[in-house]
Amino acid sequence: MKKLGVFIFLFAIILSCKEGKKQTYLPDSIGGINTIAVVVDNQLWQGKVGDKIREYFAASAVGLTLDEPIFTINHVPPAVFTGTIRNMRAVLFVEKDTLNIGHVKTDLYASPQKIGVIKGHTEDEIIANLDAKAQEIIAAFKALEITEAQKRFKGSLSKETVLKDKFGVSLTMPAAFKVVKQEDNFVWMETQIPKGTMNVIAYELPESSFSNDSTFVADIVRLRDSIGSVYIPGPDVPGKITHMRGDPAFAPHVFATELGAKKAVEVRGIWDIKNFPMAGPFVSYIINDKENGRKLVLEGFTFAPSANKRDYMFELEAIIRSAKFD
């Protein structure tokens, strides 16, 4: 009887382990970068709830030359939200329900996955929860998409070490990026895309740069103009000086952020070429690197006339946000 009891005990442990594995297994999530499934019934989607969803999740992305939404939305009626569709990486689930809640769930049907859940007794309660939780859900989706983009880069990584050698920073960057200019305090890397180029530049500034908050934006504009005039010339135009600058018609958008565990400022805006019809979006990160007594600037910009640029700029952001410092 004693041996039988031990056997039953061991069998129970083995069975519970197997059941535990079954419970924790999740399929890989699917979906294009910056694409979300919005699960909501047709009546809500076509009314004021749908308008509120689109107000937040199809809002125009900041700092682009063309009007593009922050996410590509696929509307999915609840009855269709079955099978592999549940494995979408980013899902917004909106429902009229006995509950009145708004929150984010992780890895419910697949991994990695974020599901924003918005419920309410009435349409007005649903809208109130969207107002309260939309930005939190958007931030969760964006962080997930950044991680997914960085994971995809790892299939073919650049072996260039110039950024590490010169500035002590490493980026997770696709192998297609090549160094096109390297000087004492400036590195420019570029890759070809179907209708233009994607670019990453890096340079250092004194630690005391941008010490005056009241002139911060104006100082950023002057900095970009001076860097462009020295390092990023434009096409030859007889009798005229051409170089990259911040487009004077558009004030940059400035946000506080962190990069590589360091405080930073994110700047988004439009660049153009002085005295020549070329322009595009840029995202610049001014990193407060106190340990090395400097400010380090990492910037991405795209030239792709007449093409959508949201996903190109998102890829550049994902590259720069992978920064790791020695």
pLDDT tens for each residue of the chain, 326 residues long: 444 444 444 444 444 554 444 456 899 999 999 999 999 999 999 999 999 999 999 999 999 999 999 999 999 999 999 999 999 999 999 999 999 999 999 999 999 999 999 999 999 999 999 999 999 999 999 999 999 999 999 889 999 999 999 999 999 999 999 999 999 999 999 999 998 999 999 999 999 998 887 788 888 889 989 999 999 999 999 999 999 999 998 889 999 999 989 999 999 999 999 999 999 999 999 999 999 999 999 999 999 998 999 999 999 999 999 999 98
H/E stretch holding 17 reads: helix 2-24
What confidence score (pLDDT) does residue 2 get? Answer: 47
Which pLDDT score is estimated for 8? Answer: 45
- Per the DSSP assignment, residues forming a β-bridge with 39 are 76, 93
Structural Rg of the chain based on CA atoms: 24
Are 254 and 216 a contacting pair, CB within 8 Å?
Answer: yes
Pairing relation of β-strands 114-120 and 169-170? unpaired
Residues 6 or more apart whose Cβ sits within 8 Å of residue 224: 244, 245, 246, 271, 284
Alpha-carbon distance of 211 to 296, in angstroms, equals 15
What 10-16 contacts at long range (C-beta under 8 Å, 24+ apart), as own/partner pairs, is none
Q: Are 271 and 223 in contact (CB under 8 A)?
A: no
Q: How many CA atoms are closer than 13 Å to the CA of 190, on its beta-carbon side?
A: 11
pLDDT of residue 97: 95
Strand ranges in 16-89 using DSSP code E only, listed in sequence order: 35-39, 72-76
Q: What is the largest CA-CA distance in the chain?
A: 102
Q: Contact 90/39 with Cβ under 8 angstroms?
A: no
SS3 content of the chain, % helix, strand, coil (to 5): 35, 35, 30
Task: Return the pLDDT at 20.
Answer: 46
Say what the pLDDT of residue 23 is: 54
Nearby residues of 85 by Cβ (< 8 Å), 6 or more positions away: 37, 76
